[in-house]
Structure 1
Amino acid sequence: MLNKKNILPVLLLVQIIILKIISFFPEWIERIYSNRFYVYISNFSRILFGWIPFSVGDLIYFIVGFFIIRWIFRKFKNRKLDKNQNWKTVSMEILSFLSVFYFLFHLLWATNYHRVPLFEKLHIQKEYSDADLLDFTKKLIVKTNEIHSRIVKNDSLKVVFPYAQQQVFADNIKGYSNLSKQYSFFKYENSSIKKSLISLPLTYMGFAGYLNPFTNEAQVNDMLPMPNFPTTAAHEMAHQLGYASESEANFIGYLASIRNDDLYYQYSGYSFALKYCLRNWKIRDEKVLEQLLPTIHPGILKNYDDSQKFWEQYETFIETGFKIFYDNFLKLNQQKDGLDSYSKFVDLMVNYYKTEKV
Structure 2
Amino acid sequence: YAVKRKFILPLFLVIQIIVVKTIGLFPDFVEAWYSKGFYPKLGFVSRKALGWMPFSLGDVIYFILILLLFRWIWKHRIGFFKEWKTNGLTILSWVSVFYFFFHLLWGMNYYRIPLHEKLQIEKEYSAKQLKTFAEKMLLKTNELQLKITKNDSIAVIIPYSDKEIYNLALKGYTNLPIDLNEFHYEDKSIKSSLFSYPLSYMGFGGYLNPFTNEAQVNNLKPKYTSPLTTCHEMAHQTGIGSESECNFIGFITASKNEDLYFQYSAYSFALRYALNNLEVLKEGSSKPFVEKINAGVLKNFDENELFWDQYQTPINSLFEYFYDNFLKANQQKDGMEGYSKFVGLAIGYEKL
Identity level (%): 51
Q: Which residue of 2 aligns with 1:106?
A: 103
Name whichever of 53-62 and 65-74 sits farther off: 65-74
Partner residue, 1:47: 48
Cα distance, 1:288 vs. partner? 2.2
CA 1:180–1:104: 2 relative to 1, 3 Å: farther
Deviation at 1:181, TM superposition (A): 5.2
Q: Distance in 2 between matches of 1:195 and 1:32?
A: 32
1:195-244 CA distance string (max 9 Å, x none): 00010000011110000000000000010101101100110000001101
Specify the code of the residue in structure 2 equivalent to 1:203.
S
Output aligned runs, 1:297-336, within 5 Å: 297-336=294-333
Q: Which residue of 1 aligns with 2:344?
A: 347
Q: Distance in 2 between matches of 1:192 and 1:110?
A: 18
Note the alpha carbon deviations across 1:271-307, whole angstroms, 9 max, x for none. 0111000111111123321111112111111110110
Change (3 A) 1:165 1:88: same
For residue 73 of structure 1, what is the amino acid of its counterpart? W
Is 1:74 aligned to 2:75, yes or no? yes
1:11, distance to aligned residue in structure 2 (A): 0.7
Partner SS state of residue 179, structure 1? coil
Correspondence for 1:18: 19
Aligned ranges 1:90-169 → 2 under 5 Å: 90-169=87-166
150-159 or 257-266: bigger deviation:
150-159
Aligned AA (1:173) = L
Asked if 2 retains the 8 angstrom alpha-carbon contact of 1:42 and 1:240, the reply is yes
> After superposition, where does 1:173-188 map in structure 2 within 5 Å?
173-179=170-176, 183-188=180-185
> Could you say which residue in structure 1 is the equivalent of 2:10?
9
After superposition, where does 1:56-67 map in structure 2 within 5 Å? 56-67=57-68
Aligned mates of 1:179, 1:277 — CA distance in 2: 23
User: Aligned with 1:238: secondary structure?
Assistant: helix
Q: List, as ranges, runs of 4+ consecutive aligned residues in structure 1 with deviation greater than 4 Å.
A: none
Per the TM alignment, residue 31 of structure 1 is displaced from its structure 2 partner at its CA by 0.5
Deviates more, 1:237-246 or 1:136-145: 136-145
Q: Note the C-alpha offset of 1:73.
A: 1.5
Unpaired runs of 5+ residues, structure 1, are none
Q: TM-score, normalised by structure 1?
A: 0.95
Q: Contact between 1:180 and 1:186, CA under 8 Å: does it hold in 2?
A: no
Q: Secondary structure at the match of 1:194?
A: strand
1:256 to 253, 258, 283: 253
Give deviations 1:289-328, integer Å, cap 9, x for gaps: 1111112111111110110011111111110111111111
> What CA distance in whole angstroms lies between the structure 2 residues aligned with 1:312 and 1:184?
38
TM-score (norm 2): 0.97
Determine the structure 1 residue equivalent to 2:192: 195
Partner of 1:171: 168
The aligned amino acid for 2:37 is R
Select between 179-188 and 280-289 the one with higher mean Cα deviation: 179-188
Q: Distance in 2 between matches of 1:91 and 1:138?
A: 55
Task: Output the CA distance in 2 between the equivalents of 1:303 and 1:147.
Answer: 13
Q: Which amino acid aligns with 1:35?
A: K
Equivalent-residue separation in structure 1 for 2:278 and 2:178 (angstroms): 33
Q: Is the 8 A contact 1:113 1:244 kept in 2?
A: yes
Q: Distance in 1 between matches of 2:338 and 2:212?
A: 25
Preserved CA contact (<8 Å) 1:186 1:241: yes
What is the alpha-carbon distance in structure 2 between the residues aligned to residue 70 and residue 350 of structure 1?
Answer: 50
